Chains A and B, each alone.
Chain A
Amino acid sequence: MSETQTLPKTGALLSVENVETYYGNIRALSGVSVHADAGEIVTLIGANGAGKSTLMMTIFGMPRARKGRVVFAGQDITQLPTHEIARLRIAQSPEGRRIFPRMTVQENLQMGASLDNLEFYDEDVRKVFDLFPRLKERINQRGGTLSGGEQQMLAIGRALMARPRLLLLDEPSLGLAPLIIKHIFEAIKELNKSTGLTVFLVEQNAFGALKLADRGYVMVNGIVTMSGSSKDLLANPEVRAAYLEGGRH
Chain B
Amino acid sequence: MEYFIQQSINGLTLGSIYGLIAIGYTMVYGIIGMINFAHGDVFMLGAFMAMIVFLALTTFIGGVPVVLALLLMMLVAMLLTGLWSWTIERLAYRPLRGSFRLAPLITAIGMSIALSNFVQVTQGPRNKPIPPLVNGGVTIYGTGITIAYKQMVIVIVTAILLAAFWYLVNRTTLGRAQRSCEQDRKMAALLGIDVDKTISMTFVMGAMLAAVAGTLYLMFYGVISFTDGFTPGVKAFTAAVLGGIGSLPGAVVGGLLIGLIEALWSAYFSIDYKDVAAFSILAIVLIFLPSGILGRPEVEKV
Contacts and interface: CB of A to CB of B under 8 A. Distances in A.
Contacts of A129: none
A134 B191 CA distance: 23
Contact of A98 (B177, B179, B186, B194): B186
Nearest to A145: B301
B298 interface: no
A98 B187 contact: yes
B92 interface: no
Given A107-B176, A114-B173, A98 B184 contact: yes
Contacts of B183: 100-103
Interface residues of A, number: 29
B151 interface: no
Interface stretch (A79-87, A201-209, A221-229): A79-87
B302 interface: yes
B189 A82 contact: yes
Contacts of B188: 111
A60 interface: yes
A237 to B, nearest CB: 38
A94 interface: yes
Contacts of A172: none
Contacts of B138: none
A62 interface: yes
Interface string B189-202: 11111110000000
Interface in B134-184: 173, 176-177, 179-180, 183-184
B272 interface: no
Contacts of A117: 173
B189 A102 contact: no
Contact of B192 (A96, A107, A162): A162
B63 to A, nearest CB: 46
Interface string A100-120: 111100010011101101100
A92 interface: yes
Contact of A114 (B179, B186, B191, B301): B191
Contacts of A158: 191
Contacts of B300: 101, 144
Contact of A100 (B173, B184, B192, B195): B184
B189 A62 contact: yes
A96 B301 CA distance: 12
B190 A87 contact: no
Query: Which of A82, A86, A96, A99 is packed against the most chain B CB atoms within 10 Å?
Result: A82
B31 to A, nearest CB: 13
Interface string B205-248: 00000000000000000000000000000000000000000000
Nearest to B195: A83
Instruction: Pick the most buried of B188, B190, B194, B302: most chain A CB atoms within 10 A of its CB.
Output: B190
A94 B193 contact: no
Contact of B191 (A86, A118, A144): A86
A86 B189 contact: yes
Given A100-B184, A117-B173, A144-B302, A83 B193 contact: yes
A98 B301 CA distance: 11
B192 A94 contact: no
Best-surrounded residue of A99, A114, A162 (most CB of chain B within 10 A): A114
Contacts of B193: 83, 111, 114
B190 A86 contact: yes
Given A114-B173, A117-B173, A144-B300, A103 B180 contact: yes
Contacts of B302: 96, 98-99, 101, 144
Nearest to B198: A83
A137 B39 CA distance: 43
A68 B96 CA distance: 28
Given A62-B186, A83-B189, A144-B302, A100 B180 contact: yes
Nearest to A158: B191
Nearest to A100: B183
B167 to A, nearest CB: 15
Contacts of B176: 103, 107, 110-111, 114
A83 B190 CA distance: 6
A135 to B, nearest CB: 17
Interface in B110-148: none
28 contacts: A60-B189, A62-B186, A62-B189, A83-B192, A83-B195, A86-B191, A86-B192, A91-B191, A98-B184, A98-B186, A98-B187, A98-B190, A100-B179, A100-B180, A100-B183, A101-B301, A103-B179, A107-B176, A111-B176, A111-B193, A112-B191, A114-B173, A114-B193, A115-B191, A115-B192, A118-B173, A144-B300, A144-B301
Interface of B: 173, 176-177, 179-180, 183-184, 186-195, 300-302
Closest 9 A/B residue pairs (Cβ): A86-B192, A82-B189, A98-B187, A100-B183, A115-B192, A87-B192, A83-B194, A83-B189, A83-B192
Given A103-B180, A145-B301, 13 more contacts: A83-B193, A87-B192, A91-B191, A98-B184, A98-B190, A100-B184, A101-B301, A103-B179, A103-B183, A107-B176, A110-B176, A111-B180, A114-B173
